Amino acid sequence: TPASLTGAQASWTLRVQVSANQDEAIAVNIFSTNVANLFGGEGVQAAPAQEEGAQQEGVQPAPAQGGISSPINVTTAIDANASLTKIEDAIRMVTDQRANLGAFQNRLESVKASTDYAIENLKASYAQIKDAIMTDEIVASTTNSILTQSAMAMIA
């Protein structure tokens, strides 16, 4: 399935076919973990440009890194507590995403191990069939050789 963008959050669904049948696939949703998605759209607007040293009333300067307003504010205890909640939520989102990706990886590794086991069994079966066919050919050749020797002995 192609990647899809849903709402304000970017998410992609990765679907991997793991067997011969159409309904045997595993999927994982991958969510973007950028600042906008982790903090609910906050922190994505650049602060207005201002002259060096000038401070506009009510406007906080953007940080030097990328010109993005920070969704985290620790200027007061109330803002710091609110920011702490935002940070905890962001950590929870990243942890959940990591858990989902880890579970997906485990399922892929399980499918790979199962496939490797099936391949090994098929190779062993092929070798046994090949040995049985070879045995049949040897028996047929030996039978023909005995019949030929018997015919030669009767002629002599």
pLDDT band of 101, cuts 50, 70, 90? very high
* pLDDT for the residue numbered 31: 85
pLDDT in tens, 122-153: 999 999 999 899 998 999 999 999 989 888 88
pTM (2 d.p.): 0.59
2 against 96, higher pLDDT? 96
Q: CB neighbours of 39 closer than 8 A, spacing ≥ 6?
A: 71, 86, 90
Handedness of CA 146, 148, 149, 151 (dihedral sign): positive
* pLDDT for the residue numbered 47: 42
* pLDDT for the residue numbered 120: 95
pLDDT band of 43, cuts 50, 70, 90? low
Whole-angstrom CA distances from 52 to 49, 56, 68, 138 are 9, 11, 17, 95
Average pLDDT score over the chain: 78
